[in-house]
Amino acid sequence: MTKTKGKKKKKNKLGFTKKQLSILLNYCVATRGEPKITYKSVHKNYTTYSRRKSTTDLIKKAYEKEVVTGPFLYVDTGIHVSFMDDVGNPMELLEKYEKDDNTTLAYALHGDWNFIRFERGASTLQYSDSIIPNSYPNSGYHIEDLTFDKKGQLPRDPYPHGWLDEHWGVYNCMRAPREVTYREVGKKIGLSWETVKKYYKDILGQCKILNCFFPLGIDGYGHQLVTFETDYEIGVLDALKKLNRTTFIYKANGIIILCLYLIPAPFNFNVSTNRFKELEENGYIRDLHVCTPRRWIQWSNSYHLAWTWIWREAFSASFYSDISI
């Protein structure tokens, strides 16, 4: 009798199966709960692999392929956001702001806006987040399926209270907490590793923990930026969690900013634009602006999250360890 070979598991273009991507999303969820969680704990509680090496190899590959980024700590430290639609040469302006230490993020755009700038100053940035999916796969939910059903405003990101210089020192050294050990930070700022750990635990409760999940890798998608106002801010957040990859969301001066990652398929930009236009026509959003990013820059010392350039610099293979001190 001839044995029938088992069906080969289908992989995406980066070599990941659906099961592996589901495990990687679980890893993102785990690191949002505890950024320095050990791979031993991830293996035990979030995977079905029998060998721990299989878990660590999968996560390492995910970082290398930029399927997963983060975790990254974020607190509101005062960012002003400017929207511009009358810039004659956006690329030239981008070069100018690239030399400005107060600018933390800038987009040169084509479309309804032609420039958006984030800079240190009077705080108009009210909310920042990198949305990860509720589950993977997401039962075929696409941008054209977006509906905003729940009214309500997004909560304001709080400014950290009661932080001493030591808290800020630990925060600045540990914004990518899986990158460094407590001992390394202690040597850098002149504290014992036990004291660093104490301050880290103090600040963690006031920080957002952000990371990203891109099944096709961050470079596997097209980019679209849309802004609008809405009474359905909570509904927007809930709807974007149904997509199978990360979306970046900001709120500034009451304006929602979405940095969308579009699946590389014919007319997807048109499909996305049409869906948001329908939402505007049906009264769910207003003052819609649709843009294509031409180029953007973000400084690695910025105090807020945008896209993932900082993680491209930060998350190298040297981070893949279980060292906690």
Write out pLDDT tens, residues 103-123: 988 999 999 999 999 998 888
Of 262, 266, 312, 254, nearest in space to 291 by CA: 262
CA distance 34 to 21: 20
Give Cα separations from 187 to 83, 164, 168, 194, 320 (angstroms).
42, 18, 15, 12, 21
What does DSSP assign to residue 232? B
Residue 19: pLDDT band (50, 70, 90) is: very high
CA atoms within 13 Å, Cβ hemisphere of 144: 8
Output phi, psi for 285, to 5 deg: -135, 165
Give Cα separations from 83 to 107, 118, 205, 256 (angstroms).
10, 9, 32, 12
**Contact (Cβ atoms closer than 8 angstroms) between residue 244 and residue 141:** yes
**Contact (Cβ atoms closer than 8 angstroms) between residue 111 and residue 269:** no
pLDDT per residue as tens digits for the range 1-10 = 555 555 678 9
Q: What is the mean pLDDT of the chain?
A: 88
Percent of the chain with pLDDT strictly greater than 70: 89
- The structure tokens listed for 304 are 């807020």
Helix ranges (DSSP H) in 106-173? 165-173
Q: What angle do CA 39, 45, 49 make, to 5 degrees?
A: 75
The distance from CA 200 to its chain's CA centroid, rounded to whole angstroms, is: 21
Mean pLDDT of 31-58: 94
- The per-residue pLDDT for 99 is 87
Report long-range pairs for 55-59 (Cβ below 8 Å, ≥24 apart): 55/23, 56/320, 58/20, 58/23, 58/24, 59/24, 59/27, 59/320
Report long-range pairs for 315-322 (Cβ below 8 Å, ≥24 apart): 315/63, 315/69, 315/70, 315/176, 315/178, 315/179, 317/60, 317/63, 317/64, 318/179, 319/63, 319/176, 319/178, 319/179, 320/39, 320/56, 320/59, 320/60, 320/63, 322/38, 322/39, 322/40
Q: Is the pLDDT of residue 188 over 60?
A: yes
Mean pLDDT of 210-236: 96
pLDDT per residue as tens digits for the range 243-288 = 999 999 999 999 999 999 998 888 999 999 999 999 999 999 999 9
CB neighbour list of residue 162: distance below 8 Å, 6 or more residues apart: none
pLDDT per residue as tens digits for the range 113-154 = 999 999 988 889 999 999 999 998 876 688 999 999 999 999
Mean pLDDT of 179-184: 96
Of 275, 148, 281, nearest in space to 224 by CA: 275
Bond prior to 266 in cis (omega within 30° of 0): no
Of 226, 224, 223, 249, nearest in space to 236 by CA: 249
3-class SS of residue 217: coil
Q: What is the pTM of this model?
A: 0.88
Looking at the DSSP bridge assignments, the partners of residue 111 are 291
Give Cα separations from 72 to 66, 190, 308 (angstroms).
15, 23, 10
3-class SS of residue 100: coil
pLDDT per residue as tens digits for the range 288-311 = 999 999 998 866 444 334 343 333
Q: Is the pLDDT of residue 42 over 90?
A: yes
pLDDT per residue as tens digits for the range 69-88 = 999 999 988 999 999 999 99
